[in-house]
Chains A and B, each alone.
Chain A
Amino acid sequence: MSTTKVIVGPVHPALHEPERFVFKVDGEVVVDVEPRLGYVHRGIEKALTERSFTQGLYLIERICGICNVAHTLAAVQAIEDAFNVEPPKRAKYLRTIVHELNRIHSHLLLLGVACELIGFDTLFMLIWRDREAVMDIIEMVTGNRVMSAYNIIGGVRRNVSDHEVLEMKKVLEALVEKVKQYKEVFAEDPTIRARFVDVGRLSRAKALALGAVGPTARGSGVKVDVRAEEPYAAFDEVPLNAVVYEEEDSWARLMVRIDETLESARVIEECLDKMPTGPVRVRVPEVAPQSSEGFSVVEAPRGELLHHVYTEKGNDKPLRYRVRTPTYANIPSVCEMLKGGYVADIPAALVSIDPCFSCTDRVALVDVRTSERVSVDLLTLARRYWR
């Protein structure tokens, strides 16, 4: 059996970000996939060790523009863990609200892109039109549409007024109605069903074995959601019902996102009702008060996101910073999904993990000439990159 190699990327009209995939195809069937990551490596982890904690927060925000709130939330929680600081209660609620607003906008973006990739431009336009309302609330609450710059070590940067709370409730109510309609469309529309049902199958066993996270795992029947299992911010007081679908295909992963959008809207409304009054921010020292390490896991829109920081007493910069992003964890799963499928189904399977490559590319070392992956031990890395 002879196979042909189809090389997609690094720059390709079907991909939204630079990434290279080598598909080994037999006729129309994909036999094997070789991903090659690292085209948008930006050296962020090293750059973070050269900036103070406050300055670094704005760089962390730019790891991924779409899920920037998840990144800053994980970062401030990790740094607060290392500093041994507790943010005020109201700040935790506000963090949760903005985090979930961010999730809604990210999920609606992905659903729109998924529709566009299968050629269903009408639904793409309709979903993005309604997403704009969420962007407007984010702008009203944080001061910018996308780069919110909202979470800060020790709390959040600004409070919400009663007027804004009412406005948020009004917009979310209208949004929930519309998302329910889109759920209907996704559930029964023949075009969507033809392109997504039974495409990109990832069995539950494989999802567990390959360590899939987030909606990718939840679409395969694995109930894994950081918000439900290890509640952070205000999730311990506003419990979350994790959304799980058992269908194990691209369609299930998209349905998980629609249901999560509705669930997020419910969480926000509950947070707005329960939110206590009080300060939104405590002062924290500029330099690390102790040599310690901080650790935080949050559920980003694409899956679980991990931030790990080492601090040194009297130093205003982190000693080492490590980020593990959800797309990185989902790459083995997406390779599994593509195997055995048709070439024409590649976009439909790839989009269902909501790939975000610029947050993925940080630490893999690849020898360009031999395209060999090199793994180095911590000591060599320290000698090479640390002061």
Chain B
Amino acid sequence: MTLPSLLRRAWSNLFKRPATVQYPFKKLTPPPTYRGRHILLKERCVGCGLCSKVCPAFAITMVSTEGGTLPTIDLGKCIFCYQCEEVCPRGAIKRGIDYELATWRREDLIKK
């Protein structure tokens, strides 16, 4: 009867720091490539509406305001594929690394 080899490893783990991160108190920084909350650069947008046409989740609608036609992104529908960033001819949609998207009201999810 030999000692199971896992026992040795389990024992050595007792003296190591835990691998889990205490999330709300300590936050992880995602890599810069992370696809989080969008950054809309309104002054760049020309209102062509390509992003709303290509969006696979139908999350982007074009809304006309006094400043012209601008996209609004419904983060509740968004699947964060960033196809909109890819098609935008003016680079008006940028990636953000913010991942804390929970809100109290559904209307707050709609990003204008």
B19 is an interface residue with CB less than 8 A from chain A? yes
B73 to chain A, nearest CB (A): 15
Residues of the A chain whose Cβ atoms lie less than 8 Å from the Cβ of B33: 139-143, 158
| Stretch with Cβ within 8 A of A (4 or more), from B40-48, B74-82, B103-111 | B74-82
Task: Kindly identify which residue among B2, B34, B81 contacts A149, using a CB–CB cutoff of 8 Å.
Answer: B81
A184 is an interface residue with CB less than 8 A from chain B? yes
Tell me whether A139 and B19 are in contact in the complex, defined as CB-CB below 8 angstroms, given that A54-B54, A55-B54, A149-B81 are known contacts.
no
Report the separation of the CA atoms of residues A377 and B2 in the bound assembly, to the nearest whole angstrom.
61
Report whether B9 and A181 are in contact in the complex, using a CB–CB cutoff of 8 Å: yes
Give the interface SS of chain A, mostly helix, strand, loop or mixed.
helix
Task: Kindly identify which residue among B4, B56, B86 contacts A189, using a CB–CB cutoff of 8 Å.
Answer: B4
Interface string of A49-65 (1 = CB under 8 A from B): 00100111111000000
A166 is an interface residue with CB less than 8 A from chain B? no
Within 8 A of A (CB), among B1-44: 2, 4-6, 9-10, 13, 19, 30-31, 33-35
Tell me whether A147 and B79 are in contact in the complex, defined as CB-CB below 8 angstroms, given that A59-B56, A139-B31 are known contacts.
yes
Give the interface SS of chain B, mostly helix, strand, loop or mixed.
loop
Tell me whether A143 and B4 are in contact in the complex, defined as CB-CB below 8 angstroms, given that A59-B56, A132-B19 are known contacts.
no
A337 to chain B, nearest CB (A): 26
Q: How many A-B residue pairs have CB under 8 A?
A: 62
What is the interface size of chain B, counting residues whose CB is below 8 A from a CB of the partner? 24
Report the separation of the CA atoms of residues A185 and B2 in the bound assembly, to the nearest whole angstrom.
13
Report the separation of the CA atoms of residues A132 and B18 in the bound assembly, to the nearest whole angstrom.
13
Report whether A144 and B80 are in contact in the complex, using a CB–CB cutoff of 8 Å: yes
Query: Which chain B residue has the least Cβ–Cβ distance from A185?
Result: B6
Report whether B6 and A143 are in contact in the complex, using a CB–CB cutoff of 8 Å: no
Interface string of B55-81 (1 = CB under 8 A from A): 111000000000000000000000111
Query: Which chain B residue has the least Cβ–Cβ distance from A136?
Result: B31
Report whether B34 and A58 are in contact in the complex, using a CB–CB cutoff of 8 Å: no
Residues of the B chain whose Cβ atoms lie less than 8 Å from the Cβ of A143: 33-35, 82, 95
| Stretch with Cβ within 8 A of B (4 or more), from A23-31, A121-129, A320-328, A364-372 | A121-129
Residues of the B chain whose Cβ atoms lie less than 8 Å from the Cβ of A158: 33
Report the separation of the CA atoms of residues A189 and B106 in the bound assembly, to the nearest whole angstrom.
51
Among B81, B82, B86, max chain A CB count under 10 A is at: B81
Give 7 A-B contacts (CB < 8 Å), ordered by A residue: A55-B54, A139-B30, A141-B33, A142-B33, A144-B34, A157-B86, A188-B2
Q: Which 7 A-B pairs have the closest CB atoms?
A: A55-B56, A58-B56, A143-B35, A140-B31, A129-B19, A149-B81, A143-B33
